[in-house]
Amino acid sequence: MELRTRPLVLLISTCSLAVLTCFYLFPFSNTGIDDRLRTKQKNSFQAPKENIWSELSNQEAKDVYEFVFDELSYLNLTKHPKSNRENFIVVLETLRPNKTDAVPYLRDDAAIPERWAMARVAQVMEDEPYMVHYMVGPLPVGSDTQVLPLDYVFNSGRNYVANPVQDFFAIMEFGLSLAENVSDITQDLLGAVVNRNDPSDPKGLLCWPRPSRIERGGLSMWFEFFRPGTASGARTILPQGIYVKVDASSHNTDDWTAGQFYYNGYLYDTENDFRKAWQKPDFSRAGINQDGSWTDTEDFESKPAGRELPPPVAVQPYGPRYRLDKEQKFVSWFGFEFYITTAQATGLTLFDIRFKGKRVMYELGLQEAMAHYAGDDPMQGGLEFMDSFFGMGLNMFELVPGYDCPAYADYLDSRFHQTTHSYEHPNSICLFEYTADHLLSRHSAQYSVTASRNTYLVVRSVSTVGNYDYTIEYIFYLDGAIEVKIRASGFIFGSFFAHTNEDEYGHRIQEALSSSMHDHVINFKADLDVATQENDIVRLAWEPLTKSYPWDGPEIEERNTMHIVEYPVEKETAMDWPKNGGEFYVVMSSEEKNAWGERKGYRIAAGTGMGSPPHLTILNSTTLGDSARWAERDLWVLQRKDNEPRSADPLNYFAPHDPLIDFTKMANHETLKHGEGSEYDGDLVVYFNLGAHHLPHSGDIPNTLMHTSASSVMFVPHNFADRDPSRESVQGVRLQLKGKKGSGGFAGEQSEAASGDLRTRVARRAEAGEGHKAMYFGQTYEEGMKLPLEALEPDLVGRFESEEIGVTDLGFNGSAAGLWEREQ
């Protein structure tokens, strides 16, 4: 624990703080399984090791809260904060163990790593509000438990960030006041005014800031008028085209001032200038962006042919074929094994992913989800979101059975702890097996046809951050491939259509609404351990070649052809998806080889989405600064280090030009050569991006559709096994066609004694020697099934547990910056 116990002299001097601180397959019979037996089998399955990355239990959180309140008593921490001028615990969660401590426990019989918690504290220092990170442990709380500054995971040299949001209520109050000051103008131009008594009045207006302009001395914000879109949650496609700049740099809210106004392509220096222009008879008016049925995401009335019948659904009549330890969140399926956990900022992460007993990844999970806009108005022109700031895990809400996931899926809860409270989101993770509408493999020979079903395992969650719903899934295939996939839906963040608009940043998509081009760049971490921890990465390049071959002459002197050239990646670097798919990126074991002498590897490839996942278009983003340099290329390969566990931190949002984690300090071209004489041990990590260049069009109204907004990256076995690993676990059939003797049969067909075995059983459609024959590999359905209605159409009224979903509104109050506001 050397990294964790390093004292933070800087924090002490600056902040005047004291440092106290086997693969299993259910043996189903051909006639089905008794539900009680199936339940017993599921419940009796146990993980081989404890989930050392799991969220804090409610009791652990309670004990840590009490301990921190006692140890940091000089801070006068409050349980019910009323402003950011008070000290309180914002976030409490597991501080995941260092890999150097975890691997010996997972691999050998070493002691279980110490368990620690991370506490993010809203803390006033030198009369300014900050967010400060602490580590608390070891757990359970005892005589040796300490509260220490958590600094080793940040390469900024500090564990704190200034909170520029001095008073969220003051921001909202100022917006209301400036809207009321121009209510005569808004009534004339927009046909509505703000309603102080009911800000969500569907007939009224909202006046909200763009929260991205965070300056070193405070805040400088552009406010925009919106209609609330209360019924459908459509506020982000209901901008009203009046913008007001507010200087909130002073800590004294009485000193805040409204400055420039912007409307219909014209910038006015003051409210008085805007008012004088409005009063002139030749004042140029824009349209009005009204709410209406066009924002409804449902149509209950239309009845095209076919809608009177429900669509096909998948069922699972014999129960799941994976095994799940719900307490440890450990899964086993056809050679794959892994642990599931969550975090408030990043949501779902998988650990210790193994295939056929060999670890292929230590960690696989989201790091940050960024959306960066462009436009010709003050809102869209500098708009960006870093969604871990709002919480991809905090906003993982309950999934809809039969819709988000099949009715038969297993559902897991997620837990989080804030301001001394513990919360649970029920059924926020689902796990299920699914058979695709396309085969895993097939082949037609002259007298036979072989078809193998493509069945895979999915772990899925949905994070709803404001206007967008991100479906994130990890998919496991029978051949050992792993896919990370993201799909987006929800309302776009549109811009107001003014008569001065051109199609430079988007398209006109409603009477007074324009789309805004934006990049979604969503960063993931893959800590690969392909068969061993010592790995190398190479580029296998397809290159043209002109070469003379002795067998070509004399007709051809030189042949134009191609060959593979291997380029070792010998230092930390960024890579983009190659032109024409002309390179393979393969992570290879430095030691392990298959039976043919080839190094075991996994290839990193663009997956099954809409195309190659993109990186950020904008160069040196004015808004992002150094907070998201990982977004500037497609993927990165780095040395893995305990003190570099993440590519980003949610509080980078507060300090974009001096972030807590600066990715450029991680990707600093260190060597990837290892072996004798090198301090680097060969343990590498890959950071890769998913997302899309999104140019919304009329089809994005009211919601973006998932099938056109999907992207993925796949990790595909490359010489990892001696042959296709799926052959022994896939389900399928071989049809032997009627033909001449010896034209091809079933292996071992003459051995009738084996006919009862599932892998060699022959099912004949006709008497021996007549017609076709079929042999099934794997289990088949033998009897008709009587399925309950619940298996086809779940009772959502009875099964859905959530009473209210606290979706963030993308304002400061939807983040840790305004967490205290929820206590009111």
Kindly report, residue by residue over 460-503, the tens digit of the pLDDT: 999 999 999 999 999 999 999 999 999 999 999 999 998 766 78
pLDDT at residue 752 tops 50:
no
The pLDDT confidence band at residue 718, using thresholds 50, 70 and 90, is: very high
Closest CA to 225 of 214, 211, 209: 209
For residues 392 and 465, the answer to whether their CB atoms sit within 8 Å is yes
- Span 419-437, mean pLDDT? 96
Window from 57-61, 385-389, 460-464, 744-748 with minimum mean pLDDT:
744-748
Q: What is the pLDDT of residue 766?
A: 37
pLDDT at residue 782 tops 50:
yes
pLDDT at residue 431 tops 80:
yes
Domain at 323-718, CATH homologous superfamily: Copper amine oxidase, catalytic domain (2.70.98.20)
The pLDDT confidence band at residue 217, using thresholds 50, 70 and 90, is: low
- Span 93-102, mean pLDDT? 98
The pLDDT confidence band at residue 310, using thresholds 50, 70 and 90, is: very high
Whose tokens are 């992207």? That residue is 711
> Cis ω on the peptide bond leading into residue 140 (within 30° of 0)?
yes
Q: Which residue has the higher pLDDT, 82 or 207?
A: 207
For residues 222 and 171, the answer to whether their CB atoms sit within 8 Å is no
Helix (H) or strand (E) holding 106: helix 99-107
* Tokens linked to 743: 């034209």
Catalytic residue among 263, 362, 456, 468: 468
Query: Mean pLDDT for the chain?
Result: 88
The pLDDT confidence band at residue 770, using thresholds 50, 70 and 90, is: low
pLDDT at residue 812 tops 80:
no
The pLDDT confidence band at residue 574, using thresholds 50, 70 and 90, is: very high
* Tokens linked to 470: 């991100």
Contacts of 43 (CB under 8 A, 6+ apart): none
- Give me the amino acid identity at 649: D
The pLDDT confidence band at residue 785, using thresholds 50, 70 and 90, is: confident
* Tokens linked to 69: 């309140």
Euclidean distance between CA atoms 205 and 199, whole angstroms: 7
Q: What is the pLDDT of residue 215?
A: 59
- Span 360-384, mean pLDDT? 95
- Span 51-60, mean pLDDT? 98
Q: Which residue has the higher pLDDT, 36 or 237?
A: 237
Whose tokens are 């040796």? That residue is 144
Task: Give the global pTM.
Answer: 0.91
Euclidean distance between CA atoms 817 and 819, whole angstroms: 6
pLDDT at residue 645 tops 60:
yes
- Angle made by CA atoms 221, 225, 231, in degrees to the nearest 5: 125
φ and ψ of 398, to 5 deg: -60, 135
For residues 88 and 143, the answer to whether their CB atoms sit within 8 Å is no
Catalytic residue among 352, 387, 536, 662: 387
Window from 318-327, 633-642, 784-793 with minimum mean pLDDT:
784-793
Q: What is the pLDDT of residue 529?
A: 98
Helix (H) or strand (E) holding 328: none
Domain spans, the chain: 2-21+52-162, 168-299, 323-718, 732-777
- Span 408-420, mean pLDDT? 95
- Span 3-17, mean pLDDT? 33
Q: How far, in Å, are 598, 736, 792, 822 from residue 342 at the CA level?
A: 37, 49, 30, 22
Q: What is the pLDDT of residue 214?
A: 57
Contacts of 461 (CB under 8 A, 6+ apart): 347, 348, 396, 399, 428, 429, 430, 471, 472, 473
- Span 597-602, mean pLDDT? 97
Q: What is the dihedral of CA 762, 766, 770, 774, to 10 degrees?
A: -30
Q: Which CATH architecture has domain 168-299?
A: Roll (3.10)
- Best-predicted range by mean pLDDT among 350-359, 770-779, 794-803? 350-359
- Span 331-346, mean pLDDT? 98
For residues 374 and 449, the answer to whether their CB atoms sit within 8 Å is no
Report how far Cα 11 is from the mean position of its chain's Cα atoms.
32
Helix (H) or strand (E) holding 278: helix 271-279
Q: What is the pLDDT of residue 220?
A: 85
Q: Where are the beta strands (DSSP E) in 641-787?
A: 684-694, 710-718, 732-736, 762-764, 773-777
Give the class (CATH, top level) of 2-21+52-162: alpha beta
Q: What is the pLDDT of residue 810?
A: 73
- Span 617-641, mean pLDDT? 96
Instruction: State pLDDT tens for residues 64-74.
Output: 999 999 999 99
* Tokens linked to 432: 């299920």
Euclidean distance between CA atoms 797 and 178, whole angstroms: 43
Q: What is the pLDDT of residue 549?
A: 95
pLDDT at residue 276 tops 60:
yes
Q: What is the pLDDT of residue 213?
A: 54
Euclidean distance between CA atoms 480 and 333, whole angstroms: 11
Q: Where are the beta strands (DSSP E) in 569-626?
A: 573-575, 583-593, 599-606
Q: Which residue has the higher pLDDT, 755 or 393?
A: 393
The pLDDT confidence band at residue 739, using thresholds 50, 70 and 90, is: low
- Span 709-713, mean pLDDT? 97
Contacts of 815 (CB under 8 A, 6+ apart): 389, 390, 391, 653, 808
Would residue 387 show up in a list of annotated catalytic residues for this protein? yes
Euclidean distance between CA atoms 192 and 114, whole angstroms: 59
Closest CA to 115 of 92, 90, 98: 98
The pLDDT confidence band at residue 805, using thresholds 50, 70 and 90, is: confident
Angle between the 168-181 and 183-190 helix axes, to the nearest 10 degrees?
70
Report how far Cα 326 is from the mean position of its chain's Cα atoms.
22
The pLDDT confidence band at residue 519, using thresholds 50, 70 and 90, is: very high
- Span 76-91, mean pLDDT? 91
Q: Do 2-21+52-162 and 168-299 agree at the fold level?
A: yes
Closest CA to 206 of 190, 226, 191, 232: 226
H-type helices in 111-261, by residue range? 168-181, 183-190
Instruction: State pLDDT tens for residues 657-695.
Output: 999 999 999 999 999 999 988 999 999 999 999 999 999
Q: Specify which residues 79 forms β-bridges with.
A: none
Residue 280 burial by Cβ neighbours in a 10 Å radius (0-12, 13-18, 19+): exposed
For residues 773 and 764, the answer to whether their CB atoms sit within 8 Å is yes
